[in-house]
Structure 1
Amino acid sequence: MATGRTHRPATRSRGIPEATVARLPLYLRALTALSERSVPTVSSEELAAAAGVNSAKLRKDFSYLGSYGTRGVGYDVEYLVYQISRELGLTQDWPVVIVGIGNLGAALANYGGFASRGFRVAALIDADPAMAGKPVAGIPVQHTDELEKIIKDNGVSIGVIATPAGAAQQVCDRLVAAGVTSILNFAPTVLSVPDGVDVRKVDLSIELQILAFHEQRKAGEETAAGDGALPAATAREASADQGPDGDVPAVMPA
């Protein structure tokens, strides 16, 4: 099986939009569930509903893969699983290192979804000398002094940062210097990386703040509905705050 160091996904070279790439894992998850139930084919409407997108967007996304389905029959589930897995690079072996084995890092190490999606946890790394040698998810934790050697020996190109915010940039710099070109960041901070390095940030507090915004807005709409129509001046102000397409501008947490 090929390793992540020698083979890279072809999505960018083939001009697949980033928004489409971001939806491919949603389609794959829905298709995998269908495959496990031995469902042979699925319509665009059924698959779109399972993935949480509209069917027109799904058909457009699949056109980038060269998969149009068969009218009256739908999409072949197993073939689509293969197509999307190949496009995402999941038919390869991707060794991953997780740096920071606190509660979150340990939970990630114990996550069973990595292996089933083509990702192999090659090493667990932590700065605490007391953690060295302790097994987590059956893998002995190694000290950060060994980070560069571990990356080289395992051909690692994907790193996961689950450290406190204050240590994340330094860890990121060492990962990049050692050859890591893709980083999944769980630390609550923005990382600075050179061109050619991809960073995906997972921040649960930001996601909760966005949900709080929507909850507050829903509560305001319910209150307004109970009080009747908005006064004309208030309505004008609300209209002025909207974007050109009537969308409420995004609110970015401080």
Structure 2
Amino acid sequence: MSEESHTSRPNPSAIPGAVVSRLSLYLRELQHLIATGKETTSSSQLGRRLGFTDAQVRKDLAHFGHFGHPGIGYKCVELIGEIRKILGTDREWQVALVGVGNLGRALLGYRGFVQQGFRIVMAFDTDSAKVGTEIEGVEVSHLSQLGEVLKAKKIELGMVAVPAAMAQSVTDEFVAAGIKGIVNFAPVTLQVPEGVSMVGVDLARELEQVTFTVANKLANLNDQ
């Protein structure tokens, strides 16, 4: 008897963040495989391409159900659908962005968001030269209108791309408007109440993870 795909929905708090992060990697790799004409893959192939063991891949997916087919492995299109369902991206999410400086403009211009189920539908700033304009087809409103617009348009997610000194107040406004998920690009730790999901993206910190490895490898080579 073949094993059919089946997705279960565990309590999000019971799933380690690292597992969710790897799901996103599996999704991207599966999408790449589809683009190159591959219809099926296995846990060993998927793990090898991403630097994980096949056991790790199977363990991560087992948190959410059974997805393999004996003698076939994983059907790429099918597993993409299941992972998107797990991640909640089997539908489109509307996003509001606060801050349309250099980083904000880059975020507005990034086409990958739409491909993965996210659409920035409104942007906010305090610069009078930007308010009332459109950037990458997205209308820019004054920050003072944030709560009113979010509630009227039923926007669900927020992005913070403002200087660190403004980030907490912007986050507080998002929370007051009913936003339950926030991505913070400001280089500061923000406080949110229970029930609001916050993810920080610190690009300098990511570079520090790279330099840690590079610097210490060089140091070890020099010591030999």
Q: How much does 1:53 deviate?
A: 2.1
User: TM-score, normalising length from structure 1?
Assistant: 0.80
Q: Deviations over 1:189-211 (max 9, x none)?
A: 11011111111111111122232
User: What is the CA–CA distance in structure 2 between the aligned matches of 1:203 and 1:16, rounded to whole Å?
Assistant: 23
Q: How much does 1:17 deviate?
A: 3.3
Matches within 5 A, 1:1-254: 10-12=9-11, 15-225=14-224
Q: How much does 1:42 deviate?
A: 0.5
- Listed as ranges, the gaps of 5+ residues in structure 1 are 1-8, 226-254
- Listed as ranges, the gaps of 5+ residues in structure 2 are 1-7
Contact map agreement 2:96 2:158 (CA 8 A) in 1: yes
User: What is the CA–CA distance in structure 2 between the aligned matches of 1:165 and 1:148, rounded to whole Å?
Assistant: 20
Contact map agreement 1:11 1:88 (CA 8 A) in 2: no
The number of equivalent residue pairs is: 217
User: What is the CA–CA distance in structure 1 between the aligned matches of 2:40 and 2:90, rounded to whole Å?
Assistant: 22
Contact map agreement 1:59 1:68 (CA 8 A) in 2: no
User: TM-score, normalising length from structure 2?
Assistant: 0.91
Secondary structure of the equivalent of 1:183? strand
Secondary structure of the equivalent of 2:147? helix
User: What is the CA–CA distance in structure 1 between the aligned matches of 2:201 and 2:164, rounded to whole Å?
Assistant: 13
User: What is the CA–CA distance in structure 1 between the aligned matches of 2:183 and 2:140, rounded to whole Å?
Assistant: 19
The aligned amino acid for 2:27 is L
Q: How much does 1:70 deviate?
A: 2.7
User: What is the CA–CA distance in structure 1 between the aligned matches of 2:10 and 2:151, rounded to whole Å?
Assistant: 26
Distance change in 2, residues 1:164/1:14 (3 Å): closer
User: What is the CA–CA distance in structure 2 between the aligned matches of 1:179 and 1:69, rounded to whole Å?
Assistant: 39
Larger Rg: 1
Provide runs of 4+ in structure 1 moved above 6 Å.
none
Q: Deviations over 1:71-93 (max 9, x none)?
A: 43211111100000011111122
RMSD after superposition: 1.8
Q: Deviations over 1:26-78 (max 9, x none)?
A: 00000111122231110111111233322110011111222241343211111
